[in-house]
Amino acid sequence: MWKTIKTGYTIAWNQPFVVCTLFIYNLLWGLALYELIRSIVSPLLHRYPQELSREAVHLFWIEAQFQIMKTDLIHSYAWWGLCLLLARMLLTPLLNAGVYYSLEHTEMNAGYRFVQGMRELALPFFGLYVLQMLLTLSPLYWLIPKAIELYRTNATLADVAKDVMMYLAGYLVYVFLLQTVFMYLQFGRTGGKSHLSSLLLLVRNVIPVILTAIFILLVTLIISALVMTSAMIWTGFLALLGYQMYRLVHMFCKMWAITAQYALWSAHSD
């Protein structure tokens, strides 16, 4: 397992174009979300009462509820949010195609193989992504009514949180396993293997696959905790610079999580 993790680290380190491309993509996506949220929150904050009396604040929330429920104010924001979501769903499989193709065809130029992967694998990766999203969201059809029922039947919020956390933990494990399965399906599609052979390889090596993923996840969480702690201790420009560097390191860790699994898949697919 340790050899696989080291090999995955080396592969990720040799993919600077992919890491930087994903970093810029997520940065632009974050800026778009920030501007959307700011356009909603800033006008509301300007209307927030300067005198924080109970009556003024209560009147503010009544007015806000009326505008949301009885007017079309929220419609434009909802449409913008939907457009961003659709754009994300279209771009994600394209980027995945470029990433996985770059891992398989290292003999090509970095930028060329990334674009070539999007051209050749866009359609099959989009189909896998749609199927993954359907399987990811389908349990919510049962979980959301269950959470509402728990909220109504439990006496305190602490009891609600305790019961909901159990279901949430199970759902997160399900999503993690689902992401791993589709990762190996994409490895197989890129390498010209059948879906069945990719799934059989995953089942035969399920323990090292899970242990590798957990180790890299723990490393990512430790780095995140260190950055957040340092941001609370040191403020100002250094904290801002450190946070931006962290975003790049975080993207490298996400790439490392993929390349470590790719190294394991390559070692057993021959």
Q: Which pTM was predicted?
A: 0.82
Domain of 107 in residue numbering reads as 2-269
Task: Print pLDDT tens along the chain (270 aa).
Answer: 778 888 888 988 888 888 888 888 888 887 777 777 777 766 666 666 566 666 666 666 666 666 666 666 666 667 777 887 888 888 889 999 999 999 888 888 888 888 888 888 889 999 999 999 999 999 888 888 887 777 777 656 666 777 778 888 888 999 999 999 999 999 988 888 888 888 888 888 889 999 999 999 898 888 888 877 776 666 665 666 666 778 888 889 999 999 999 999 888 876
d(CA 140, CA 150): 15
Count of structural domains, the chain = 1
The alpha-carbon radius of gyration of the chain (Å, integer) is: 23
